[in-house]
Amino acid sequence: MTNPKYKKKLDDLLVLCQKSLPRVDEALIRRAFDFGFNAHRHDIRASGEPYFDHPYAVAKIVAKEIALDDVSVAAALLHDVAEDTEYQIKDIREEFGSTIAEIVDGVTKISDIFKSHDVTQAESYRKMLLSMVNDIRVMLVKFGDRLHNMRTLEYLPLEKQRRLAKETLDIYAPFAHRFGLANVKWELEDLSFKHLHREAYDQIARDLKSRRREREHYIRKFSQPIEKRLREEGFKFEISGRPKHLYSIYNKMIKRNKPLEEVYDLFAVRIILDTQDPNDCFAVYGTVSDIYIPNPERFKNYISVPKKNGYQSIHTTVVGPE
């Protein structure tokens, strides 16, 4: 690798992998990077950027935001090689072995299905994708691929933007949720919303931005009494707050037929306990309910009854200050 720009990109990716992954075969990542870079060296994206910037971005998403293993990162660097260059799956198999070749082949087959069909029955497509996938890493690389494509969607023709946004909202976002990738799901939803309902997206984004300082102050004010009590009770914990995501807020407005200023559950606060005992979560729920009035209809016990993907926590809705 003699190109200094891409040498730095490779170094940055390796640092990210070392931070995020349990173990890293640096030689594998280097080989995959060099192979992908050389395979795509003459290709250009719709944005005018070198094509290899896309698999590189997907590899970073897989390393940081999905964080499974180095094989997934290597496959992400190679995921478009068989589809878009002179190389074939057999070349990848010879160079990297059957596991990476099968992941790349799986990602390529998913792309081919969506090129040749319009998505009408989202649930049947999700079932078909699951039946095709022997290795979960195929879907993880595909989530990274779709997320980066959605982040750069504005370079495509308007009709294609809308088609990909609808496909993402109907298939990939619910799929990411099923895989337990909440942050990926939220971003896919918001990016789809942006391209399908631009005026509503801009309006909500503008309103939320104008009230950002007020919102941050409110979350701090809400959290302080909880933090004080939990420290007094001897819990080891992290507490963080965020506004709900734009698509989630938009759905509430549509379902309730209300403007933004009349949608009150705009904030989410998360308490993560450092404990092995699930009963501690119920104790903290009791403390929160003692400080703020809970809405019993909005209580969800995912500890006793976990979600299908293994997710466990308690959800509650409470009435905060004012």
Question: Tokens 């619910």, residue?
Answer: 174
Cβ of 319: how many Cβ atoms within 10 Å? 10
C-alpha–C-alpha distance, residues 207 and 261, integer Å: 9
Cβ of 202: how many Cβ atoms within 10 Å? 12
Backbone φ and ψ for 272, nearest 5 degrees, come out as: -110, 120
Instruction: Reply yes or no on whether 43 is catalytic.
Output: no
Instruction: Reply yes or no on whether 84 is catalytic.
Output: yes
Q: How many residues does the chain have?
A: 322
C-alpha–C-alpha distance, residues 69 and 23, integer Å: 7
Q: Which helix (H) or strand (E) holds 175?
A: helix 173-178
Name the E strands within 146-264.
237-243
C-alpha–C-alpha distance, residues 156 and 251, integer Å: 26
List the catalytic residue out of 84, 95, 135, 280. 84
List the catalytic residue out of 25, 53, 83, 265. 83
Q: Which residues are catalytic?
A: 83-84
